[in-house]
Structure 1
Amino acid sequence: MASNEFEFSDQDFQRIRRIINQVAGISLADGKRELVYSRLSRRLRQRGFRRFADYCDYLEPGDDEDELREFVNALTTNLTSFFREPHHFEFLANELLPALMRSRGSNNRRIRIWSAGCSTGEEPYSIAIVLREALPNVGWDVKILATDLDSNVLATAERGIYEWSRVKDLSESRLRRWFQKGRNAQAGWVRVAPALRDLIAFRQLNLMNDWPMRGPFDLIFCRNVVIYFDKATQAILFDRYADILVERGHLFVGHSESLFKVTERFVPLGKTIYQRCL
Structure 2
Amino acid sequence: MNRIPLTDADFKYISKLIYQRAGIVLADNKREMVYNRLARRVQSLSFESFTEYLRFLEINPGNDEWQSFTNALTTNLTSFFRESHHFDVLKEHAEKSRSNYKVWSAAASTGEEPYSIAITLSDVFSMKHDAYQIIASDIDTNVLETAEKGIYKLEQVRELSQEMVHNYFLRGTGQRSGMVKVKPELASKIKFQQVNLLANEWNVPGPFDAIFCRNVMIYFDKETQERILKRFIPLLKPGGILFAGHSENFTQLSKDLYSKGQTVYGTLKDKK
Asked whether the two chains share a fold, i.e. TM above 0.5, the reply is yes
**Which SS does the other structure have where 2:80 is aligned?**
coil
**Aligned AA for 1:77?**
T
Deviations 1:33-87 (A, max 9, x none): 1111111000100111121112221223452442111111111111111100000
Question: How far is the alpha carbon of 1:242 from its aligned partner?
Answer: 0.6
Partner of 1:15: 13
Q: Distance in 2 between matches of 1:216 and 1:61?
A: 39
Q: What amino acid sits opposite 1:96 in the alignment?
A: H
Aligned alpha-carbon RMSD (Å):
1.5
Cα distance in 2 for residues equivalent to 1:73 and 1:42: 12
Structure 1 residue runs without a partner (length 5+): 102-108
Would you say the 8 A contact 1:36–1:75 is kept in 2?
yes
SS in 2 for 1:260: helix
Do the aligned residues in 2 keep the contact of 1:27 with 1:230 (CA within 8 Å)? yes
Which aligned runs of 4 or more in structure 1 are off by greater than 4 angstroms?
none
- Work out whether residues 251 and 257 of structure 2, in 8 Å CA contact, stay in contact via their aligned partners in 1: no
The 5 Å alignment of 1:1-278 reads: 5-61=3-59, 63-93=61-91, 95-101=92-98, 109-136=99-126, 138=128, 140-209=130-199, 210-278=201-269
SS at match of 1:99: coil
Q: Structure 1 residue 193: deviation in Å?
A: 1.1
Report which stretch shifted further, 203-212 or 59-68. 59-68
Query: Aligned letter for 1:9?
Result: T
Matched position secondary structure for 1:8: coil
C-alpha distance 220-62 of structure 1, shift in aligned 2 (>3 A): farther
Normalising by the residue count of structure 1, what TM-score does the alignment of the two structures yield?
Answer: 0.92
Query: In 2, Cα distance between the equivalents of 1:245 and 1:91?
Result: 16
SS at match of 2:180: strand
Residues 119 and 148, structure 1, Cα contact 8 Å, conserved in 2:
yes
**Normalising to structure 2: TM-score of the pair?**
0.94
The answer as to whether partners of 1:124 and 1:144 remain within 8 angstroms in 2 is yes
SS at 1:208 equivalent? coil
User: CA 1:154–1:172 in structure 2 vs 1: closer, same or farther (change >3 Å)?
Assistant: same
Deviations 1:203-242 (A, max 9, x none): 0111111111241111001111111100100000001111
8 Å contact from structure 1 (residues 111, 218) kept in 2 = yes
TM-fit CA distance, 1:143: 0.6
Q: Deviations over 1:89-127 (max 9, x none)?
A: 01111x2112234xxxxxxx3111000110110100000
User: What is the count of residue pairs matched by the alignment?
Assistant: 268
* Secondary structure at the counterpart of residue 143 of structure 1: strand
User: Is the CA contact 2:37–2:73 (under 8 Å) kept in the aligned structure 1?
Assistant: yes
Identity percentage of aligned residues: 45
Cα displacement (A) at 1:140: 4.7
8 A Cα contact 1:248 1:277, kept in partner? no
CA distance in 2, matches of 1:139, 1:190: 24
**Matched residue type, 1:171:** S
- How far is the alpha carbon of 1:260 from its aligned partner? 3.3
Task: Please tell me whether the aligned partners of residues 7 and 50 of structure 1 are also in contact (alpha carbons under 8 angstroms).
Answer: no
